[in-house]
Structure 1
Amino acid sequence: MKNEPSPHPERLERLERLERLERLESADPPASLAPKTDTYDSPWKEAIEHHFPEFLLFYFPQVHALVDWQHAPVFLNQELQATARDAQSGKRYVDKLVRVMAQSGQALCLYIHLEIQGARQRIFPERMFVYHYRIFDRYRAPVVSLAVLADRSAAWQPRHFGYAYAGCSLRLDFPVAKLLDWQDRQAELQAHDNPFALVTLAHLLTQATRRNLPARLQAKWHLVQLLYRKGWTRQQVLDMLHVLDMLHV
């Protein structure tokens, strides 16, 4: 892929403004009349759907290896909404339910949870369990529950839910990819070809400069230069900046 010329530093803000204007112009109804949606999580939803194999390969390589990629994944968005009867509008997380075929020939349901909200959630492990059993109850097929955490607490590492009482016990363990765990591996992220490595790098840079606007702008500019060097198009760069803006509203 031929590299496009990098924009000058002073054009970075202009590019972001242009991208926002383009989105506003393409909207059908005025914002005041449009129904409220989870605008901040939609870029992540699109990224996962458009680059699902890369998503699994980067964050959950052991799950990626189980999937027979000759069979296209099927996203069960409407089915997940029906399963999650208590889903709230305005939530700060992304949920995906994907049906895939395993290498063994067994159909699997992959439940993917991306926690966007920066604060730790006390009920998060319980929510993972509730969704897990609801999906199993609906499909009677193996369910693989996966979580990506974008919070800022290194000490918060929820990986299971369970209880035991009067001889009865229950436990769900689920794989977790925590973006903060890549904090000291940013050089590795920069050299990685997987687009989600760059999403993770961008998230960490934006998170580290959340209280320093000039530093954040400079970090974004360095990221833009990196993306152009890797052959990203102007639209791909703008999409990345949009993901960052939506993640850190």
Structure 2
Amino acid sequence: MAISEYLPDFINFFYPEIYNSINWKKTPISLDKELEQITASATTEKRYVDKLFQVWLLDDQEIWILIHIEVQSQYDQEFPKRMFIYNYRAFDLCNKSVVSLAILGDDNPSWRPNYYEYGLEKSQMSLDFSIVKLLDYEWEKLSANNNVFALMVMAHLKTKSTTSNLTEREEWKWQIVRSLYERGFSKFDIINLFKFIDKMMTLPPKLQQKLESKINQYEESQKMEFLSTMEENAIERGQKIGQQIGQQIGAKETCRQNIIDLLKMRFSSVPETLVETLNNIQDLAFLKQLLLETIRVNSVVEFEELIQNNYSENN
């Protein structure tokens, strides 16, 4: 979610009270090496901590901010324990105060874990941590907010809601991308934010080309050359990849197997009918799109509906 590039905006959008307590005149320091030590020493199977920063409060106190994002997660019984483990590991590493923050992008409105505790009688250990649920944000308020993370949340919400309708996703993606220009962001920010939105709201080649055409036409009408002339962006968005998929049979088989393996890992089993459907799909780009969707869908049934609703567009 572009945290490193826009940390003040991130804290200001999700945790305004914490933002107001930080001395932003002192540049925050990203503690990547320390983060590696914290996650490597933890004993949990899942390691989702994203960023660790050193910042200073207005009274010059140094603290560490531990940011954890679970954008695709479902209910996870071990999540509070992970938050506790990473917090005490960070504290133990350098004896600094650690503030733990979590962003939850799941679809369950009732799952709101914000503490972990254990103990017996008067001997207790506990950690309270702050969480943000992305589904709590209202679209109208996001649309009126010029913080870059308002756009990131909008992109996330529409990515989740259009899993089974990629045509609708393309339409929403265009609206969000167009708002980058309309909100008056700099050329640097437009290019940078587009990269994050583009990777989040993935599209099959035909719909991606449709989006790119809209971007080109808009930039021509506005006499801009921010995105349409960027060869590097075009490569990243898969424009050239789509031209080379004709004879990549081995890649298709690998992609199909990866889809099946990921679905089995998430949902235990995969119906033979779904395996047969995947074997009949010859469009490598569409298979790659499905591979990305395996981490977004909430069930095998939803994944099958996604194929049914979008396969005809790619043939």
TM-score (norm 1): 0.74
Aligned to 1:218: 171
Alignment-mate amino acid for residue 241 of structure 1: I
Aligned to 1:3: none
Asked whether the equivalents of residues 152 and 197 of structure 2 are also in contact (C-alpha less than 8 Å), the reply is no
Asked whether the equivalents of residues 169 and 201 of structure 2 are also in contact (C-alpha less than 8 Å), the reply is no
Within-5 A mapping of 1:169-208: 169-182=124-137, 185-208=138-161
Structure 1 unaligned regions, length at least 5? 1-43
Q: 1:161-203: per-residue Cα shift (whole Å, max 9, x none)?
A: 1123132112111111110111xx1111011110001101111
- Does the alignment pair 1:235 with 2:191? yes
Aligned to 2:118: 163
Please give the alpha-carbon distance, in whole angstroms, between the structure 2 residues aligned to 1:96 and 1:203.
19
Asked whether the equivalents of residues 173 and 201 of structure 2 are also in contact (C-alpha less than 8 Å), the reply is no
> Secondary structure of 1:113's partner?
strand
Aligned-residue CA RMSD (Å): 2.2
The structure 1 residue matched to 2:10, chosen from 39, 43, 55, is 55
Alignment-mate amino acid for residue 109 of structure 2: A
Within-5 A mapping of 1:1-249: 44=1, 47-86=2-41, 93-182=48-137, 185-232=138-185, 233=187, 235-236=191-192, 238-245=194-201
Please give the alpha-carbon distance, in whole angstroms, between the structure 2 residues aligned to 1:91 and 1:190.
34
Please give the alpha-carbon distance, in whole angstroms, between the structure 2 residues aligned to 1:231 and 1:160.
40
Please give the alpha-carbon distance, in whole angstroms, between the structure 2 residues aligned to 1:54 and 1:68.
14
> Secondary structure of 1:84's partner?
helix
Asked whether the equivalents of residues 155 and 201 of structure 2 are also in contact (C-alpha less than 8 Å), the reply is no
Percent of aligned pairs with the same amino acid: 36
Task: With a CA cutoff of 8 Å and minimum separation of 6, indicate the structure with the bigger relative contact order.
Answer: 1
More helix by percentage: 2
Asked whether the equivalents of residues 80 and 97 of structure 1 are also in contact (C-alpha less than 8 Å), the reply is yes
Asked whether the equivalents of residues 115 and 149 of structure 1 are also in contact (C-alpha less than 8 Å), the reply is yes
TM-score (norm 2): 0.59
Please give the alpha-carbon distance, in whole angstroms, between the structure 2 residues aligned to 1:194 and 1:149.
19
Structure 2 unaligned regions, length at least 5? 203-291, 296-315
Alignment-mate amino acid for residue 53 of structure 1: P
Asked whether the equivalents of residues 81 and 87 of structure 1 are also in contact (C-alpha less than 8 Å), the reply is no
Asked whether the equivalents of residues 39 and 49 of structure 2 are also in contact (C-alpha less than 8 Å), the reply is no
Greater CA radius of gyration, 1 or 2? 2
Please give the alpha-carbon distance, in whole angstroms, between the structure 1 residues aligned to 2:109 and 2:96.
34
